[in-house]
Amino acid sequence: MKVHPIAAAIGAIAIASVLVALAARVLITQASTRQLAENDRLERALGPLRDKVGEVDPLRGVLEDFLARKQIIETIAPAAAPAAEALAELSQLPRSVVLKELNLERLHLVATSVVRRDEDLQAVIAKLGTSRLLGNPRVRTRDPKTGTTEVEMDLKP
């Protein structure tokens, strides 16, 4: 039995194609298996890291709040200490002067008080004028009937 050379060539090509397809399938399967193994290894390595990141994420908001508050404190801190000392000096005014309200804005202070006698008011203005923290005390308004007086002054930096 004689086989035609073209039929033999077609058969050889078909067998070679099947062998190449099988070899390619084996190579692709091996590469896929290696990649899946590598993915599993990386997934196991990421597990503890995800736990740590999970612990850090809630702290991000706390850190942002802290930094915002720190910035506010750093902004007002230079004026806070002189203001506290100035308030301490105001607390030592004579008993005849009753402070009702204090308004502090930047380095400017307005004290609303009740001063019955003009002599007491002049004594307060004189005392405030000698303060190392308060400067330029002046009467803004005064109601002679009630004695309610607004004294404004500047905080010395």
What is the residue-wise DSSP string for 59-117?
Answer: HHHHHHHHHHHHHHHHHHHHHHHHHHHHHHHHTTS-TTEEEEEEEEETTEEEEEEEE-S
Q: pLDDT exceeding 70 applies to what percent of the chain?
A: 92
What is the predicted pLDDT for the residue at 79?
A: 63
| pLDDT per position as a tens digit, 125-139 | 888 888 887 888 888
Grade residue 114 by pLDDT with cuts at 50, 70 and 90.
confident
> Which CATH number, 2.30.29, 3.30.1360, 3.10.180, 1.10.3470, labels domain 93-155?
3.30.1360
- Give Cα 33 to chain centroid, integer Å: 48
pLDDT at 36 over 90: yes
Do 82 and 134 form a contact (C-beta atoms < 8 A)? no
Do 128 and 94 form a contact (C-beta atoms < 8 A)? no
Burial class (CB in 10 A: 0-12, 13-18, 19+), 102: middle
| pLDDT per position as a tens digit, 46-59 | 888 887 777 776 77
- Give Cα 133 to chain centroid, integer Å: 32
